[in-house]
Amino acid sequence: MKLRSIISTVAATVAVGAMATANYDAGNTFARLPVSGAPASAIIALPFSGCGMAEGSIYVTNLVMTTNLEAGDTLMHFNGTKWDAWEIIGGEWRSIATSTNAAGVTVSPPASEVAINCGEACWLNRKTPSNTFYLYGQVNSTKRSVTVAAGTGTKPTYTIVGCPYEAGDFNVSSIAGAEGDSVILMSSTDASGKVEYVYTSGAWKKWGVTKAATGFPNFAPAEYGYVALSESEGVVPAGCGFMYGRKAASTLTINWN
């Protein structure tokens, strides 16, 4: 087996580099993926599975290393019905309450009992976003697909997902969307805190200037609309996830392979 540590620094606008740092004889390949440049509230991907978990899933206790995380940092995952949440307490992930009502307090299951499928995503909230955090686990030769929830046909339903690539970026242009679908990336550099792309007229586009303003003698204001993406746009860095807004009244399966 080869045990390797994939070292790659990821930022919103920085390419990923990978380097094997150690090799051992064994049956599986493991990797550690450093992620930097992510915002304080970041959608993170699940590129790795747990040791020996061939079905492509990983327990919450293992998917984000506690290195460089602080007491009070939280991790959230939507289980299809409700949000589960865990907090760094005493240097490890501990269950916390997610709701309080007349029936009592709802507490998430222990992190050691919740396995999340690769291809899904979690929401990581950190006190110090400048710190690098680390994803760790077993490298998957086959990338498990993920299904996003159907919209209503007029209003979108949002699902957070993460491309399970550990050694390279993912481009949203490879997703066969439907008219009105959207992809939202969390951003630490954009003033709004996010970047949004919309699928319209058969392609992923962004809102921008379609016609520049003109001055003397034919004064005219700038015109806006959806414009094509450049080669550097629509890129989701390795280790990061995104929010998919499905407007069409049907589910969508994203195949990562």
- Interstrand relation of 157-162 and 170-171 (parallel, antiparallel or unpaired): unpaired
Backbone conformation region of residue 37, classed left if phi is above 0, alpha if psi is from -120 to 50, else beta: left
pLDDT for the residue 183: 96
C-alpha–C-alpha distance, residues 93 and 84, integer Å = 12
Q: Supply the mean pLDDT for the chain.
A: 83
CA atoms within 13 A on the CB side of 20: 9
Look at residue 11 and tell me whether its pLDDT is greater than 90: no
Domain boundaries, the chain: 30-139, 146-254
pLDDT for the residue 104: 61
pLDDT for the residue 15: 29
Closest CA to 159 of 174, 179, 177, 137: 177
Closest CA to 55 of 149, 175, 164: 164
C-alpha–C-alpha distance, residues 255 and 235, integer Å = 16
Which tokens sit at 123?
A: 């929401």
What is the band of 9 on the pLDDT scale with cuts at 50, 70, 90?
A: very low
> In this structure, what DSSP letter does residue 185 have?
E
Which tokens sit at 144?
A: 């498990």
CB atoms closer than 10 angstroms to residue 53 = 18
Look at residue 102 and tell me whether its pLDDT is greater than 80: no
What is the band of 103 on the pLDDT scale with cuts at 50, 70, 90?
A: low
Mean pLDDT of 33-52: 90
Mean pLDDT of 9-34: 48
pLDDT for the residue 95: 93
Look at residue 112 and tell me whether its pLDDT is greater than 90: yes
C-alpha–C-alpha distance, residues 132 and 37, integer Å = 8
